[in-house]
Chains A and B, each alone.
Chain A
Amino acid sequence: MIETFLVIGIIIVFTMLLCLYRAALGPGVYNRIAATSIIGTKAVVLLIAIGYIFERPMFVDIALLYAMLNFVGTLLMAKYLVRGEVCTA
């Protein structure tokens, strides 16, 4: 069953490379933000697959934390681009 998780991890890394093309060359700032957000959500699933490959279940905690941080970062970037500031001092 470890081979299955290895193949899934390799497919996820390949799709992350496809998204990295859009994050590097995409025209405009919004394409780049969208691509980095999608890379982050793919990294959550990649962390779970890595945890099953190395048989260490605490990788799920790291994946949970990474999902929350990625969500907050994306919302902050969207809010900053609309208002020009994140919060009023």
Chain B
Amino acid sequence: MHSIDLIATVLMAFGAFFMFTGALGLLRLPDFYTRLHATGKCDTLGEVLLIVGCMVYQGWSFLTIKLFFLMLFIFIANPVATHAIMKAAYVTGVKPWKKGEERR
């Protein structure tokens, strides 16, 4: 295995780890806000790391530029979407969870 392939594999393994952690947080945490707090950051970082691993594996070509723009779009759009859902929930009156309350 070449060193380029090794670097790409390590980057994609980190990305898959972060995506798995985000999904676990979405499944396990007690409230809507805490769930989005887990997934909104972990998923963005995991997907960006996976796409950077694909860019390293690809080398210099036209496909790398497409992957770079996809990475840039995800890096901007994913936190904006998370913020939009969370602000919609806050405006329509979803109460945050406090310690000792029941899971929702």
- Please report A residues at the B interface, Cβ cutoff 8 Å: 1, 4, 8, 11-12, 14-16, 18-19, 21-22, 27-28, 30-31, 33-35, 37-38, 41-42, 44-45, 48-49, 52, 57, 60-61, 63-64, 67-68, 71, 74-75, 77-79, 81-82
- Please report B residues at the A interface, Cβ cutoff 8 Å: 5, 8-9, 12, 15-16, 19-20, 22-24, 26-27, 32, 35-36, 39, 43, 47, 50-51, 54, 57, 63, 66-67, 69-70, 73-74, 77-78, 80-82, 84-85, 87-89, 91-92, 94, 104
B43 touches A38 (CB 8 A): yes
Looking at the assembled complex, report how far the CB atom of A84 sits from the nearest CB atom of chain B, in whole angstroms: 10
Give B61's nearest chain A residue, CB to CB. A57
A21 touches B85 (CB 8 A): no
How far is B75's CA from A2's CA once the two chains are assembled, in angstroms?
26
Neighbouring A residues of B67 by C-beta, 8 Å:
48, 60
Give A68's nearest chain B residue, CB to CB. B73
A81 touches B88 (CB 8 A): yes
Q: A30-B32, A45-B47 are in contact. Are A60 and B63 (CB under 8 A)?
A: yes
Q: A22-B27, A60-B66, A75-B81 are in contact. Are A82 and B88 (CB under 8 A)?
A: yes
Q: Can you list 25 pairs linking A and B with CB atoms under 8 Å apart?
A: A1-B5, A1-B8, A8-B16, A11-B19, A19-B26, A19-B27, A22-B26, A30-B85, A30-B89, A34-B36, A37-B85, A38-B39, A42-B43, A42-B47, A44-B70, A45-B50, A48-B51, A57-B63, A61-B66, A64-B73, A71-B80, A71-B81, A74-B81, A74-B85, A81-B88
Q: A27-B104, A75-B84 are in contact. Are A44 and B43 (CB under 8 A)?
A: no
Q: A34-B85, A74-B84 are in contact. Are A22 and B12 (CB under 8 A)?
A: no
Neighbouring A residues of B27 by C-beta, 8 Å:
18-19, 21-22
